[in-house]
A and B are shown apart, each in its own frame.
Chain A
Amino acid sequence: MTPSNTTNTVGEPSTPRQSTQQAIELILLRQWASYIKTPIWITSADGYLLFFNEPAEQIIGIRFGESGPMPVNELVSRFEIRDEYGAPIEAQALPLAVAVAQRKPAHSRLRVRAVGGEYVPIAVTAFPIEGQGGRFLGAVAMFWEDRKA
C-alpha cells in the first residue's frame, strides 16, 4: 500500500469576491462594534470606510446612518484633525491609513474637532485585519478620549 495522501490549497486569498457581501470576519467585527461603547471605525482593504459605531459618531459629529460608507479621506475632510500639539497632520499619517497602506499597527494622540465643536484630545490605535488564510481584509481603529485617561 502506497500512501498517496496529498494536501493542496484551493481558492487563493486573492480570489475576487463575487458579490457585494462582506467577509464573515468583517460582518462579525461590525456586529461587535455596534455593541461596544468604545468608538470604532472599520475600513475595507482598499481604505473604504465601511462602518463606524455610535460612540464614534459622537466624536466626529457625523451619523453613519446619514453618511453611509465612503472613502476614509472624504470623511476625514469633514472635520479637523491635528496632532497632539495642535499642528496639522497629513491624512496618510493617521493610524488607520498606516494600518491599511503599510499593514502594520499604528498609534497616535490626536485632537479632533467636529463642525461647530471644540477640539477633543483622543488616542487612536489601528490594526490591520487578517482573516483566515492570511487574507488582508481591511483595518480597524479604536479611539479613546484622552481626557478620560
Chain B
Amino acid sequence: MKAVLWGTRGSLGSASAETVVYGGDTSSVELVTSRGTILVLDAGSGVRRLGAAVPADVKRVDLLLTHLHMDHIQGLGFFGPMYNPNIETHVWGPASTNATLRTRLSRYLSPPLFPVCVRDLPNVFFHDVMPGTFEIDDATITADFICHPDPTLGYRIEADGASIAYMPDHEPALGAELPYRPDPEWTSGYCIARGVDVLIHDAQYTEAEYLTHVGWGHSSMRQTTAFATLAEVGQLVSFHHDPSHSDSMLEEIAEKISTDENLRFKFFPGKEGVEFHVGRCC
C-alpha cells in the first residue's frame, strides 16, 4: 500500500514562506493498494492536487471523510474526479442522528457558499458510516467514533498485509487522562490504532498550548506519543499541524521526539508531499 500526504495542516490553510516544508494545505491523504484501489482520506485543501494526480483511466475513487469540519471538506468542490462522469466517486462519512451525509454536505456544496450543488455532480454516491467494518475492493476499513467535537470517525485501513490508522483530529487525553493513566478500555481510538503498522495522528499542540485548548478536540505531541505507545503502533506520523507552527518550530519538535530513546515506535514528521509504502506495494 502506498500513502501520499497531500495536506498535513490543521484547522486552516497556511501557505507562507514559513510553512513550505511541512506544507500549508489541510488534511488529505491518498492510499493506493497493490490492486490499484484509490482511497482518499479527507478532502481538505490538499485534495485538489490529489485529484489532479488521479490517472485518467481510473474507474472509481473512494473518499473517506473523518468528519465535516471545514478543514476536512473545503477541498471537496475542487476534487476533479467528482466532476468526471466516467469515475464513480464514493463519499463515506460519519452518520449522524439528524441528517444524512449527503444532506449535511449539501449545506457546503450549495449557494451561497459554493456555486455547484451536490445534485449537479454526475456520478457520486454517499455512504453514512456507523462504527463497524466494511470492504472497498481489496481494502478492509474499520471505522469508529473518536473523541472530537461533532461526530468524527477514526479509520483503520487494512490492505496488502499492512494496516494504517488515520485520526487527524483526536483528543484521546480527554477521556483517558493520557499520558498519566493510560487504559485501553477507556481510551478513545484504541481499537482503531491497536497494533497498526502506521498511525497518522493529530499532533496539533505543544504541551503549553494544550493547557489552554482542553476540549477543543486535538492532542499535544506528548499525548500523541503516549497514545501511540499504548496502541503499540509500528510508526507514528505527526499530522494536523497548527496553522501558527512554522517549519522551524515543527522541526524542533520532531527533533526532540526522534531523539527520545524511550520511544517504542518509529517516528516521522508528517510533511506535505511525503510518500511512504507499507506491506505489499503497487
Contacts and interface: CB of A to CB of B under 8 A. Distances in A.
Contacts of A13: 130
A28 B147 contact: yes
A5 B105 CA distance: 12
For B95, B118, B119, B121, the residue with the greatest tally of chain A CB atoms inside 10 Å of its CB is B95
B174 A134 contact: no
A17 B174 contact: no
Interface string B102-122: 100000000000000011111
A20 B131 CA distance: 14
B101 interface: yes
A72 to B, nearest CB: 18
B191 interface: yes
B176 interface: yes
A22 B147 CA distance: 12
Contacts of A22: 185-186
Interface stretch (B4-12, B43-51, B138-146, B258-266): B138-146
Contacts of A133: 95, 97, 130
Contact of B185 (A4, A21, A24): A21
Interface in A118-142: 131-135
A11 B134 contact: yes
A14 to B, nearest CB: 9
A5 B128 contact: no
A10 interface: yes
A143 B14 CA distance: 49
B226 to A, nearest CB: 16
A19 interface: yes
Nearest to A11: B132
Question: Most chain-A Cβ atoms within 10 A of its Cβ — which of B94, B102, B123, B132?
Answer: B132
Interface string A15-34: 10111111111011011000
B125 interface: yes
A18 to B, nearest CB: 6
A20 to B, nearest CB: 5
Interface in A1-58: 1-13, 15, 17-25, 27-28, 30-31
A27 B147 CA distance: 9
Interface string B169-186: 000001110000000111
Interface size class for chain B? Answer: 35 or more
- Interface centre among B127, B144, B175, by most chain A C-beta atoms within 10 angstroms, is B175
B129 interface: yes
Contact of B94 (A15, A132, A134): A132
Contact of B133 (A7, A15, A134): A15
A107 B125 CA distance: 45
Given A10-B127, A24-B188, A134 B97 contact: yes
B187 interface: yes
A8 B95 contact: no
A7 B100 contact: yes
B124 interface: yes
A127 B101 CA distance: 28
A8 B130 CA distance: 11
Contact of B95 (A9, A21, A24): A9
A22 B146 CA distance: 11
A18 B163 CA distance: 15
Interface of A: 1-13, 15, 17-25, 27-28, 30-31, 131-135
26 contacts: A1-B85, A1-B120, A2-B122, A3-B119, A4-B122, A4-B123, A5-B126, A6-B126, A7-B101, A7-B128, A9-B95, A9-B128, A9-B130, A10-B129, A13-B130, A18-B142, A19-B194, A20-B185, A21-B185, A21-B187, A27-B176, A27-B186, A27-B187, A30-B175, A132-B94, A132-B97
Given A4-B123, A13-B130, A31-B174, 9 more contacts: A1-B120, A4-B122, A4-B125, A10-B129, A12-B130, A19-B190, A21-B185, A28-B174, A134-B97
CB-CB nearest 6 A-B residue pairs: A11-B132, A15-B132, A11-B130, A27-B175, A19-B191, A21-B191
